[in-house]
Structure 1
Amino acid sequence: MNDLTQNANSLLAPALAHSRYLQQLFLRHPNLAEATLANIAQPFTRQAMEQALSNLQGLDDHALKQHLRRLRQAVMAKLISRELAGLATLQEVMHTISDLAEISLSSALAWVSQPDARYGQPIGEESGQVQELIIVGMGKLGGRELNVSSDIDLIFIFPEDGQTTGPRKISNSEYFALISKRLISLIGDISDDGFVFRVDMRLRPFGSVGPLACSFDSLEGYLLTQGREWERYAWIKARALSGDEAGLMQLVTPFIYRKYLDYGAYHSMRELHSQIRREVARKDKIDNIKLGPGGIREIEFIGQVFQLIRGGRNKNLQLRPTQAILEELAQQGTLSHAAVAELQEAYCFLRNLEHRLMYLDDAQTQMLPLNTEDQARIAHSMQFADWAQFCEQLALYRHRVSQHFEQVFVLPPDEGDAHPQAAIWQSAQDGDSSDLAALGFENPAEINRRLASLQSSNRYLQMPDRCRKRVDSILPPLIKVSAGFHNPDATFTRILDLLEAISRRESYLALLAEHPQTLKRLASLYSASPWVSQYLTRHPILLDELLDFRLLEELPDWPKLGKILRQELNDLGDDTEAKMDCLRHFQHAQIFRLVNQDLGGLLVLETVSDHLSDLADLMLTVTLEQVWQELSIKHQPKPQFAVIGYGKLGGKELGFASDLDIVYLYEDDHPNATEIYAKYAKRVVNWLTALTPAGHLYDIDLRLRPNGASGLLVSSIGAFSQYQRESAWVWEHQALTRARYCAGDKVVGNAFEVIREDILCAPRDLEKLRFDVRTMRDRMLETHPAHPEDVKHVRGGIVDIEFIMQYLILAHAKEHKEFCLNTGNIALLATAAQQGLIPLNAAHLAADGYRELRRLQHSSRLNGTELTPKMLLPIQPQLAAVRLLWQTLFGEHIEQS
């Protein structure tokens, strides 16, 4: 052996010094040593493996086994030599071994699937087609992350039951069981040349006692009725290596990934990890670098728990390789970039160490060696001076992994019994509210009654046991948290409404139980605004947003968010209902983030309205795109069609619950354009307004279209222009002052803007204009009297300011083109003052009044409070200034409301 080592080229020396397996291999096969050295500069490619197995005609099973094992020896020799010479990366090693497994399995499958004179071919009883065995690679094989001496976890599936065509007919199940046994023998039997891969079939349905191969129907039935949580975890990395991969994944994906956010996965994964830890401890394998503390399995679990939780709604998380999923979690902000960097570094270190442990004797082991000779080999091959230095670095990596694992899988405090307020919940039936009074609740007897009512309700008593335990653990800290706010009763009862609404949704209860820190964030929102509490109770999926406060405070990047939304929709294929739900989930999440920033004082009202208007534009744009894709009668790739926003949407003054005033325009010479676009517009309205399980997007008002409710749903640019010039009422021109292109074809949008400017700049009889505007205001007062607490209709309020500005635009836009810019009433008031059309002081007071009136209106809706005349007292000077300005412009004195 020493002669071999001494004579070896320096490139082979590190591998020979480390690996007893390689030393013995080269002694038995000197030509292999020469071939390895001659080609050590290049990786062992997939093409080279396929070439080595390309000429198998005329062989028997024994000869094929020898070919497969000799190929493995060549691959292992080069891998060990390249990696320990510093020529191969971890990715090369994992991918090369995975290539070897895939090609070996493919060759073996082709071999055992050759026509059999006795049995013939397996035929599906439904399709009548020849059936093909699907080899499913599980675990590291599925993720193309195999280690160098790994077993391979396989499951054998075939699409349809049926029987074979030969003279000796057998069922497809029997047929595929026979060829599966032969395939396992070809790959896994140990001969003088060793083995190719050890094959583990225990992950198949029913485990070791289950059939060796099963049909799609059998697999689906098993997963639906008996599939366990750990099997969801196992199937994450599953990959079809042959046959109908699309059909298989369509069947198993709903089992792996839930449509909802599955926070129950924390509990399941934590239990599985605890079971593994107990097994490791029982077998005294604490130094197992895969299963022990801070080991490879913990890194895998960190990535996979987020896949189980979010993968059903986020297709980007349906990845197989561990390193890829960690990187995706960093990109999405689920894990910090710093945390992922540490996990990636530890993963590479541990996987490289795992390979060096296996290189020693080609043994499947992840245990650190106990003898000093092997310890020295490991330390040297890992580039450390000695074992002690190596162990110090290993301990650091394992400590970091354990820290990150514990942060993700932190056990929620077991406070159902131990929490100081647990007795309040447990003894609610006793009627004693003294502890609630001591905490500061204003009506403790009523709070206690609510608790007792929940405790005795069928809703609570008939909950699944796990849900009831979740509620029991949530309520005591919730009582404590609610008591810390200025309105504890309202805060607590609002959240109690939420708990009752989600009481059978274990995932949402799990979120609150697993992340008790969210209760304080939740309570602060429920304390601040009944509107927000009702919104969140209607859409509990938004609870997920509470987990990452950075997202809640991050200003929206609408182009970036639009790309994310379009990708999510694209991943849903042709599922219209899922796409409509996706749009709603996206919009609700953005509104929730904006309202959180609003309540937190991070945004002024004008910025909130801008963002809400930008969100509406995005939702309209994406909806137009999606509906056109699905329209059966479309005649061109993109519609020549646009959405025009009026009112609050047009003026970019949307609130959180505003409806959308829109008009549909098109410019298209196709003879059926009106029919096509009318159908298109109806479908768009349905997508926006339909109530789905995820809620609805917007209420839509189309009454501002030409001829109102009696007019066509869509108008051509020519017809719209003619109507505006020849038939429109003055109030319709007033509405045009706050209109803008929002979504759709920009050419049509630009054509609208030209028409709008022409209409606004048209010459007018000012006396008649004043009369018409006054008349319209009087008609509005008949249906909406000017009550002193009504910020919109009070004299000198929002409507009067809007009418003043609309009159000024229609009267003077011809001379002052700045009035055609849709910059909002506050900016337009300043423009009017600069042009000398109204006094500067009046413009300032009107702008201040308008801003404060909108703030009061906005605050009233969020807080669920009724406005009173007293609340408007501080802005009486502003209201008076607007009334005086009205009198100046219209010659009409208006009294204070």
Structure 2
Amino acid sequence: MTNLSSTPITASRFYTRWLNADASRAQRVAEVGKLSLNSVIFGELLQNETDAGASLPAAMRRVRNLVIATLIQRDLGGLADLAEVVDTMTTFGDFAVQTHLAAVSTELMAIHGTPTGHESGESQEMIVLGMGKLGGGELNVSSDIDLIFVYAEDGETVATAPEQRTLSNHEFFTRVGKKLIAALSEITEDGFTFRVDMALRPNGASGPLVASFNMVEEYLIVQGREWERYAWVKARALTGKPSDIDALEKIIRPFVYRRYLDYGSIDAIRNMHAQIRAEVTRQEARHPDRSNNVKLGRGGIREIEFLAQVFQLIRGGRDAALRDRSTRNILRTLAEKELFKPEVVEQLLHAYTFLRNLEHRLQYLDDAQTHTLPPNAADQLIVAQMMGYHDVPALLAALEEQRTLVATQFDEIFSDKKNDHAADDRAHAELSAVLTDSDSERVIEAYLLDLSFDHAADAAKRLLATWHSPRLQSLPEASRNKLVALVNASLPLIVKVSEARSTTLGRLLDFLETIARRAAYLALLTEYPHALERVIRMIAASDWAAKYLTRHPLLLDELLDDRTLKAAPDWNAFARDCRQRLDETPGDTERQMDVLREMHHAQLIRLLAQDLLGDLSVERLADHLSELADRLVAATIQTIWKGFPNRHREEPKFSVIAYGKLGGKELGYASDLDVIFLYDDDDQEAPALYAKLAQRFITWMTAHTPAGILFDIDIALRPDGASGLLVSSISSFEKYQTTSAWLWEHQALTRARFCAGDAEIGARFEAIREKVLRQTRDPVELKKEVLEMRKKLHDAHPNRTELFDLKHDTGGMIDIEFMVQFLVLRNAVHHPRLTGDIGNIALLKLCGELGLIDTALSVTVADAYRTFRKLQHNIRLQGAERARVEQERVATEVAAVVALWATLFS
């Protein structure tokens, strides 16, 4: 958009004055403009000045002016984009701070000795933290720099000469800090290098100039405020020892990034933004000729920064990719993670570039730290032409377009949702008023009756019991108010989505009691009313879902976005994301175990939401749940193995084989995993190492962490059962299956498959499985053993009710599974297709097609199995442990199963 008629000479009074002061400067700008400006070049330019006799502060100022003049020429000439300008200024800011700090520290150590830690006995260095745009790598051409000075450890300087006078480390670094500020910011005949702002340090202007790590930690824990979290997101160490920087990062990170999803950040930033806007409004009212603040005004740069950084504060504790300090990088990451629509991010990045370019051109005029359009028409026209517009109205129109776009996106995130839904409140029953009324139970009961609640009296008692519980009464007032507002908003929603209203209210109150101490969860439901409605719909539809969400309230975040909630799983992307997140915390077993659980829970709640909406068949849901388990098993094995320091190969020759529901890809929400472990490795240490791997795997799966458990594991199907080895070589497994295994173990093989690990072992297992299943068997002996095993199972699960047990009763699911296993073991020798791991329904139909059973009956029994599974699934969703129904409900299906059983076994 550069207008070639707008040159540095005509556009920048700073550039013109600086250039005219020395005839040689034009040539120097031309020469430097051809270089890639970095710390090495800055060092050479600085050396040239000091070699000519300039002091370090004077030389640095001259280099600074040369760098800015070069950027002005390149930018206005269309040779440099925004990225080059801010990257160059940031690099120069780092260089100036590092160079002056080294000089000042050397000077003061010559006078006072070396600052030394009292406990460690190690020399100490001052860490300069760049904040704001310097910390974020996006420094303006005429910006001040926000700094914080810290050091690791208290102590005192150690003198190495008699004339040196020792100081405490604090006093020493305070002197270093003062000299550093003066070296950078004092105005001389050469100008200044950078204005320095220290207001972001602990306790601001009233606090000490420098702080030890202990002081920083205590301040952040005890006094750190929400707006300071926003500021410390940008904190970047410009100097210091790597070990000290790492230690400081461990202090800062828990303050900035919460381990949970912190939706309270929205309200905090909203309040901070309101204060900024109020101050801008006051300034604009006082100086109406200085309006259009492109940084702090509505739709300005700060609103884009807030849009990016609110997601950092909410999610950065769980997702390291969101801890980048650059606004531009974070916006791109938000698009990649689908937290913002990619097209919206592109618009915001375009607006950011436009506003930052305009900000630079405002500053190019006089090298002034300004963010508002100049008051006089002539300067406004110069700025417009620098931006590529012929007149000021055209610039203002483009500016308004960009600001409107930004403001629209900002309001979508930060508008006060609490006030948007005031119409939903029932004026005649404000809970906040009646809950403490002496006659509150009667009033609430009347209100619930008016809403057509069933069992209104019991519901009123429960609501009051929750309100008066010690847990809720001990909450801060703000949290209690939010809780009351949420209940008040929920009652009409319960009426809207549920017939069993009192039951749904009870589940909701269980959930709210659980999350009440986490203000962030209350904030999320307050900020996103559609998430509250989705919670209510989910818990109304399923008691199991209600309990699952209550155990794992972290999953509230998954209910916000329809795109991710309703999207079909991308299992390859899931595996990559899982691998990336596990790799972010190498060696941190507890965190890695929680990562696996969090990713499992998140995917499970998405599938559950689709299931409750009727978007998934029982078979399709089971496929997804089985695939999810496979991916998590694979990630767990790989992560554990990488943590073994004594592993003898990069990838283990080890596999997990799935049996039962996982093997048959019929997994349910709460199913355990039936697995065995196989290896194929001749190394002498292999048996012990793979046994250790299997033991760790079971621990990682079953251990209770703050995020719950992953899966229960059943390893009873391994060779020789409970008395057998935990892991088996593939050769010993083959020998066992072909010479020693019981028939019921061959029955189990019909629903077994490779799950995760070494694919070659998986292929060998499949070959062994097919070989075993295709053995020639005595049909009479086979029938006898199958019937004996079925009787044992039946006797072990007696049903003393009038209801039909879908799984265990005669004519139920176990009968169907046994018939399929019998058909496979009896006929696979002649029909290899029967060894396919295609599930009971498909195998039944295949047996019909092959003429092994009546075709029509095979279809009827397959449909019966599907019906039983769906009924079982729905009953389990309501929280029942046993899936039982009225006999009449499944009489037709049971009759078909009994008929097929009779044809096979009578």
Quickly name the TM-score band, shorter chain normalised.
Answer: over 0.9
Q: Is the Cα contact below 8 Å between 1:163 and 1:171 reproduced in 2?
A: yes
Report the equivalent of 1:859.
Answer: 874
CA shift, 1:676, in A, is 2.0
Instruction: Specify the alignment match of 1:94 in structure 2.
Output: 86
Instruction: Answer whether contact 1:424 1:436 (CA < 8 A) is retained.
Output: no
Q: 1:227 aligns with which of 224, 230, 236?
A: 224
TM-score by length of 1: 0.95
The residue matched to 1:114 in structure 2 has which SS?
helix
Match of 1:641 in 2: 654
User: 1:241 Cα deviation (Å)?
Assistant: 0.8
Give the match for residue 181 of structure 2.
184
Shift of 1:614: 0.4
**Conservation of the 8 A alpha-carbon contact between 1:173 and 1:214:** yes
Give the corresponding residue for 1:5: none
**Alignment counterpart, residue 426 of structure 1, candidates 409, 414, 433:** 433
Query: Do 1:521 and 1:546's aligned partners in 2 also have CA atoms closer than 8 Å?
Result: yes
Residue in structure 2 matched with residue 6 of structure 1 by the alignment: none
Match of 1:283 in 2: 283
Deviates more, 1:31-40 or 1:348-357: 31-40
Larger displacement relative to structure 2 (254-263 or 663-672): 663-672
Q: Give the equivalent residue in structure 2 for 1:895.
A: none
2:466 aligned with 1:470: no
Structure 1: distance between partners of 2:577 and 2:391: 49
111, 136, 142: which one pairs with 1:149? 142
Aligned to 1:822: 837
Q: Which residue of 1 aligns with 2:273?
A: 273
CA contact (8 A) 2:131 2:231 kept: yes
Cα distance change on mapping 1:349 and 1:642 into 2, 3 Å: same
Q: Distance in 2 between matches of 1:418 and 1:795?
A: 53
Amino acid paired to 1:455: W
What displacement does 1:499 show?
0.6
Alignment match, 2:287: none
* Contact 2:677–2:694 (CA under 8 A) maintained in structure 1: yes
Could you say which residue in structure 1 is the equivalent of 2:851? 836
The Cα shift of 1:633 comes to 4.5
Aligned to 2:350: 345
8 Å CA contact retained: 1:12, 1:37: no
Indicate the residue corresponding to 1:877 in structure 2. 892
| Contact 1:161 1:173 (C-alpha < 8 Å) held by counterparts | yes
Residue range with higher mean Cα deviation, 876-885 or 390-399: 876-885
From 452, 467, 475, the counterpart of 2:464: 452
Secondary structure in 2 aligned to 1:118?
A: helix
How has the CA–CA distance of structure 1 residues 136 and 690 changed in structure 2, closer, same or farther, with 3 Å as cutoff?
same
1:680 maps to what in 2? Answer: 693
2:764 corresponds to 1:751: yes
Distance 1:769 1:817 in 2: 18
1:80 deviation in Å?
Answer: 0.8
CA distance in 2, matches of 1:417, 1:499: 23
Q: Which amino acid aligns with 1:706?
A: P
CA contact (8 A) 2:38 2:92 kept: no
Match of 1:847 in 2: 862
What is the rounded CA distance, in whole Å, between the counterparts of 1:869 and 1:143 in structure 2?
A: 61
Cα distance change of structure 1 residues 223 and 868 upon mapping to structure 2, 3 Å threshold: closer
2:40 partner amino acid? Q
Would you say the 8 A contact 1:425–1:451 is kept in 2? Answer: no
Once the two structures are TM-superposed, the CA of residue 495 in structure 1 deviates from its matched residue by 0.8
Matched residue type, 1:664: F
CA deviations over 1:118-143 (Å, ceiling 9, x no partner): 21211122222221221111000011
Q: CA deviation at 1:863?
A: 2.5
Distance in 2 separating the partners of 1:603 and 1:418: 33
Q: What corresponds to 1:667 in structure 2?
A: 680
The residue matched to 2:804 in structure 1 has which SS? coil
Is residue 307–residue 317 contact of structure 1 (8 Å, CA) maintained in 2? Answer: yes
Closer/same/farther in 2, CA of residues 612 and 811 from structure 1, 3 Å limit: same
2:111 match: 118
Query: Could you tell me which residue of structure 2 aligns to residue 3 of structure 1?
Result: none
Aligned-pair CA distance for 1:478:
0.7
Which of the numbers 44, 57, 67 marks the counterpart of 1:65? 57
SS in 2 for 1:153: strand
Answering whether residue 366 of structure 2 is matched by residue 361 of structure 1, we say: yes
Contact residue 549 and residue 555 of structure 2 kept, 8 A: yes
Moved more, 394-403 or 119-128: 119-128
Percentage identity across paired residues of the two chains? 45
Query: Structure 1 residues 872-881 or 349-358, which shifts more?
Result: 872-881
Superposed CA RMSD = 2.0
Helix, strand or coil: the match of 2:417?
coil
Structure 1 residues 212 and 870, CA gap change in structure 2 (3 angstroms): closer
Deviations 1:539-568 (A, max 9, x none): 000011111121110111111011111111
> How far apart in 2 are the matches of 1:627 and 1:495?
39
C-alpha displacement of 1:681? 1.2
CA distance in 2, matches of 1:458, 1:890: 62
How much does 1:675 deviate? Answer: 2.2
- Structure 2: gaps spanning 5 or more residues: 285-289
Instruction: Determine if contact 1:46/1:99 at 8 Å carries over to the other structure.
Output: yes
Specify the SS of the correspondent of 1:283.
helix
- Partner amino acid, structure 2, of 1:34: Q
The one-letter amino acid of 1:85's match is G
Under a length normalisation based on structure 2, what TM-score does the superposition of the two structures give? 0.94
2: distance between equivalents of 1:326 and 1:11?
31
Q: Residues 870 and 592 from structure 1, CA distance in 2 versus in 1: closer, same or farther, beyond 3 angstroms?
A: closer
How far did 1:586 drift? 0.7
Output the amino acid matched with 2:250: Q
Is 1:248 aligned to 2:227, yes or no? no
Q: Secondary structure at the match of 1:795?
A: coil
Correspondence for 1:482 among 490, 494, 507: 494
Q: Distance in 1 between matches of 2:855 and 2:585?
A: 56
Counterparts of 1:797-808 in structure 2, within 5 Å, are: 797-808=812-823
Match of 1:386 in 2: 391
User: In the alignment, what sits opposite 1:516?
Assistant: 529
Q: Please say which of residues 211-220 and 133-142 is displaced more in the overlay.
A: 211-220
* Pair 1:752–1:808, CA change in 2 (3 A): same
Structure 2 distance, partners of 1:443, 1:493, is 11
In 2, Cα distance between equivalents of 1:869 and 1:150: 72
When structure 1 is superposed on structure 2, of 33-42 and 478-487 the one drifting more is 33-42
Please report how far the alpha carbon of residue 99 of structure 1 lies from its aligned counterpart in structure 2 after TM superposition.
Answer: 1.4
Deviation for aligned residue 1:48: 1.9
Flag structure 1 segments of 5+ consecutive residues without an equivalent. Answer: 1-9, 892-897
The letter for the 2-side match of 1:76 is: I
Matches of 1:669 and 1:297, distance apart in 2? 62
Q: Contact (CA 8 Å) 2:466, 2:509: kept in 1 or not?
A: no
1:556 is aligned, of 569, 578, 583, to 569
| CA positional deviation for 1:45 | 4.2
Secondary structure of the corresponding residue to residue 231 of structure 1 = helix
Q: What's the counterpart of residue 12 of structure 2?
A: 19
Equivalent residue, structure 2, for 1:781: 794
Counterpart of 1:470, as a letter, is K
Alignment of 1:31-42 (within 5 A): 31-38=24-31, 40=33
Q: Which moved more, 1:243-252 or 1:724-733?
A: 243-252
Structure 1 Cα separation of the partners of residues 222 and 678 of structure 2 = 53
Say how many residue pairs are matched.
881
**TM-superposed deviation, 1:859:** 0.9
| Distance (whole Å) between structure 2 residues aligned to residue 483 and residue 477 of structure 1 | 11
Please say if residues 531 and 861 of structure 1, whose CA atoms lie closer than 8 Å, have aligned partners that are also in contact: yes
Give the equivalent residue in structure 2 for 1:894.
none
Q: Tell which deviates more after alignment, 782-791 or 753-762.
A: 782-791
1:844-868: per-residue Cα shift (whole Å, max 9, x none)?
1111111111111111111336989
3-state SS, counterpart of residue 334 of structure 1? coil
State the distance in 1 between where 2:646 and 2:841 align. Answer: 45
Q: Name the CA distance, whole Å, in 2 between partners of 1:93 and 1:214.
A: 32
The Cα of 1:872 is off from its aligned counterpart by: 5.2
Contact 1:664 1:681 in 2 (8 A): yes
8 Å contact kept, 1:135–1:241: yes
**CA drift at 1:57:** 7.3
1:644-673 Cα deviation digits (max 9, x unpaired) = 111101000001111111111112222233
Q: CA deviation at 1:753?
A: 1.3
Q: Distance in 1 between matches of 2:788 and 2:750?
A: 18
One-letter identity of the residue aligned with 1:198: R
Which structure 2 residues correspond to residues 530-545 of structure 1 after superposition, within 5 A? 530-545=543-558
Q: Which residue of 1 aligns with 2:192?
A: 195
**What letter matches 2:25 in structure 1?**
L
Alignment deviations for residues 172-226 of structure 1 (CA, whole Å, 9 cap, x no partner): 1111111222211111110111101101111111212222222212211211111
